[in-house]
Structure 1
Amino acid sequence: MMNYNAALESALAQFGAASLEQIRKYSGYPVADNRIEVDFLGYKSEVEHPSGRFSPEPTPEGDLPVFARILILHYLSRSGPVQEQGRLISYKEIPGGSIYIQPFSNRAIRPLVQAFGERPQALSEVGLRLGGRVAAHGDAAVTIPVFPHIPVTLVIWGGDDEFPPNGNILFDASAARILPAEDYAVMAGFVAATLQKMSKGG
């Protein structure tokens, strides 16, 4: 398993340097005193500023793994307003995304297709349980608000006699102004894994 200690330390430092007013203004999450109330794919927690301490404290192998906490800290640390553009782009259109396209496909697209390629409508059903909305793409698609300002659209095309099932994960065109490409690869993989787990009754 990858060692995320250095990445977590960096994310904590970045979060600690961000002002609480900045987080309140740009994150889209409620802030009470010095605690940010975070809902991330159904996992509700509070993040204390400036320590970056999560409450309840996640267990090492729990539902909020360390890389998910790093994603949350990166998102909360961002500065400046970002307006959703309503135009979808693929991962390789995010600056730097083309370098990571193979890991992105292995980590996110392949599990998505394995879970829903033979039953596309199940993607919509599970996605709605995460607060998503049905989207008009492929044979089934759902747009999930992973963060308040980062919607992620997952698309499935069912297979037929000529072609195997296929899928894609798309982002709003504003994505590149919020997080780096590596974060979107991690995010998409976690979304796909969460949906896969939910589809199995987890």
Structure 2
Amino acid sequence: MQYKQAYFDALRDFAAKDPAVMADLAGGRCIEDGRAIIIDYLGQHCTVTHPEGEVTVRDWPPLPHEELIIILQYLAGASGLPCREQWLSFLELPGGPHHFAPFQQEAIFPLAKALGDDSEKFLQAAETLGATKTDLGHVGAIIPAFPRLPLAFMIWLGDDEFPAKANILFDASSPTYLPTASLYMLGIAVSKRLLAAAGC
């Protein structure tokens, strides 16, 4: 029921806004005389009809409800601000400390467990999501969840003394695009897609 209400709220906000304005602020483009928006999502072209809010990603099966909500919220709430290239941990997001423990359990710990000893597999999986390599962590990748909302994924490889660690960072402009609850869902969704791309 919680996801259902969140979806209807996101759809209402999306349908009420001018598609051309949303596309411009979100880094997408309008097609079909404003009846649809094309936006990149994890390196794939995503089509969102307006005002219906039907979301399709080429060559992907139907998206889960969490990702549908995130995409509609991103379009409806995009500020248009450029990335600041300053990275924040989930703890540093507004209200982040209240949800950090479950975020670790659902998004961060699985990355360290599955990919903490295989940097090549991590990078190859990230590339399928449109990532570019970064020098964050022992091995890191910046994944463009949306054109103006990147996430930085990083791993510190484990050894005989220390277990592998991972983290997910958000650009400082992220809260102007999505509320923290949605950034929480986004981090988990991208983490799951990264693990799936790695065959984990």
Maintained 8 Å contact 2:79/2:176: no
SS at match of 1:77: helix
Shift in alpha-carbon separation, 1:148–1:42, aligned structure 2, 3 A? closer
Maintained 8 Å contact 1:121/1:140: no
How far is the alpha carbon of 1:24 from its aligned partner?
2.4
Q: Distance in 1 between matches of 2:78 and 2:167?
A: 29
How far is the alpha carbon of 1:80 from its aligned partner?
3.2
Q: Distance in 1 between matches of 2:22 and 2:15?
A: 11
Structure-2-length-normalised TM-score = 0.91
Amino acid at match of 1:185: Y
Maintained 8 Å contact 1:31/1:37: yes
1:121 aligned partner: 120
Structure-1-length-normalised TM-score = 0.90
> 1:53-107: per-residue Cα shift (whole Å, max 9, x none)?
2347xx9xx4510110000000000153212111111111111111110111111
1:162 aligned partner: 161
SS at match of 2:168: strand
Number of aligned positions between the proteins: 197
SS at match of 2:178: coil
How far is the alpha carbon of 1:45 from its aligned partner?
3.6
2:193 aligned partner: 194
Q: Distance in 2 between matches of 1:63 and 1:195?
A: 17
Gaps of at least 5 residues in structure 1 are none
RMSD of aligned residue pairs (Cα, Å): 2.0
SS at match of 2:84: coil
1:95 aligned partner: 94
**Which contiguous aligned blocks of 4+ residues in structure 1 show a shift greater than 6 angstroms?**
none
1:151 aligned partner: 150
SS at match of 2:94: coil
Gaps of at least 5 residues in structure 2 are none
